[in-house]
Amino acid sequence: MFSVRSTLLKTTAVQFGKLQLRQFSHLPLNVPVKLPNGLEYEQPTGLFIDNKFVPSKQHKTFEVINPSTEEEICHVYEGREDDVEAAVIAADTAFNNNSWATIDPLDRGKALWRLADFIEKDKEIIASIESLDNGKAIMNARIDVQLVINYLKASAGYADKLDGRLINTGETHFNYTKREPLGVCGQIIPWNFPLLMWAWKIAPAIITGNTVILKTAEATPLSALYVSQYIPQAGIPPGVINIVSGFGKIVGEALTQHPKIKKIAFTGSTATGKHIYQGAAAGLKKVTLELGGKSPNIVFADANIKKAVQNIITGIYFNSGEVCCAGSRAYVEESIYDEFVQELTTAAENVKVGNPFDESTFQGAQTSQMQLEKILSYVDIGKKEGATLLTGGERVGDKGYFIKPTIFGDVKEDMRIVKEEIFGPVITITKFKTLDEVVKMANDSEYGLAAGIHTTNINSAIKVADRVKAGTVWVNTYNDFHHSVPFGGFNASGLGREMGSEAIDNYTQTKAVRVRLD
């Protein structure tokens, strides 16, 4: 199914966690890949620095696995500290030579729009790469790619909107502010939405005049490398966007600690986010963090049950449950609890799990064996805690990282499966009697990323939305993103926002100018 020019390779294999690292002396900078749907393309394997694909300086590589088949797709070059240094030099040079930060903002917008156009023309290949590398259903991958296109184009529209303001302090002085870019920004993205997180990070950074060094997730580097080939074609100068594939403990640490990097943006687990925050604090870097969640999804008795069930399904089984804002805690009003649980269980058992390239598949593979094992361990924890496994909880097939959609009932609020982020297709269901009771349970979490409310009573919806501690609240919908609507969390779910004008604020600083008038 997959092919690389293995005759050109000389290898020495070593183990790095679950991945195989090798010393390749002549790994090509691109390899041919045939996708399961019959499409063929050339996959870049190098690091993308200064608008060129280059081998890593130590010529180390790591393998990329197809989570649906557990087979190797290809190897890509593994960046290390010396590669980060090369990327920093390129990004710092691009920022300080004024080839990007001080040009007409509309030119930055045009370049970003052209990048979106290149992706749009190639979106089926790109969606297929996402499915291959991540394991997500092709229908989900297409949604991701369209969101990428929309967001890049929306961000292009902010190019000439970075306005300052005039400040009246009387006739003796003229005062104004201006918003300026930060400089070189380090960005670290996760494996669950590889290309979407790439877009959420680079778009607000470069439209405001910054330059970036982005670390892909080691499990899913392929799509970010593939679309990087369009960066110079879009008219974005060398050094503005640099992509370094590698591991968090090496590349991530190097980005966090480098003195010339002025900003760190990270999406991932709360534990890793705390570590990055502490490291960045030593250099007084600006930081944005989009972290974990354990989001409540609340169903009132007056809700349209069939629509609410579908929203719950989308909230927890979309993207195989590997969504930071997944609605993993369902709270259902007591009077409809039994009916709702029956409807939801039936719907979950009808979710198509399997080959991501099957057009009827809704839930593809988990992205890695490690993640599959973590999810299954939480199923065991739930059983031992005394929760009732209503459906699922088992691996599907003997090849690929697939698991059945899982529902736990009879849970208590202090159970680990209720408190801890599982990051998989597992949901708990709890009944409630009153609005005050459900708000208290919904807020009884260290997280605060998202929440769902399902009701036909607008008064109930607004009351709960006002009181729930979450950065995003969806009413009668779930996992419903729009490029103009900011996304981010409260509490342990992070700092700062993605998308909307709020994302632009994350990548600028304010300069005040006060002029004495004679």
- Which active-site residues does the annotation give? 290
Give the side-chain half-sphere CA count within 13 A for 460.
20
d(CA 224, CA 45): 11
Give the other-Cβ count within 10 Å of 2's Cβ. Answer: 18
Q: How far is CA 324 from CA 1, 269, 361, 411, 422, in A?
A: 32, 9, 21, 21, 10
Helix ranges restricted to H, 283-368: 305-317, 337-349
d(CA 479, CA 243): 28
Check: CB of residue 87 under 8 Å from CB of residue 260: no
d(CA 135, CA 319): 9
Give the orientation angle of helix 305-317 with respect to helix 337-349, to 10 degrees: 50
Complete edge-to-edge strand list for the sheet that includes strand 450-454: 388-391, 406-409, 426-432, 329-333, 296-299, 450-454, 472-475
Q: Which two tokens stand for residue 122?
A: 């190639």
Parallel/antiparallel/unpaired status of strands 296-299 and 71-77: unpaired
Give the orientation angle of helix 105-121 with respect to helix 138-156, to 10 degrees: 160
Q: What's the helix, strand, coil split of the chain in %, to 5? A: 40, 25, 35
In the three-class reduction of DSSP (H, G, I as helix; E, B as strand; rest coil), residue 374 is classed as helix
Looking at residue 160, its amino acid is D
In sequence order, what are the beta bridge partners of 473? Answer: 451
> How big is the CA angle at 109 (ends 107 and 111), to the nearest 5 degrees?
70
Cβ-based burial of 442 (10 A; exposed 0-12, middle 13-18, buried ≥19): buried
Which helix (H) or strand (E) segment is 11 a member of? none
Give the closest residue to 450 by CA, choosing from 442, 460, 458: 442
d(CA 512, CA 8): 58
Check: CB of residue 257 under 8 Å from CB of residue 186: no
In sequence order, what are the beta bridge partners of 52? Answer: 49
Check: CB of residue 336 under 8 Å from CB of residue 301: yes
Enter the DSSP assignment of 10.
Answer: -
d(CA 216, CA 198): 8
d(CA 467, CA 442): 10
In the three-class reduction of DSSP (H, G, I as helix; E, B as strand; rest coil), residue 332 is classed as strand
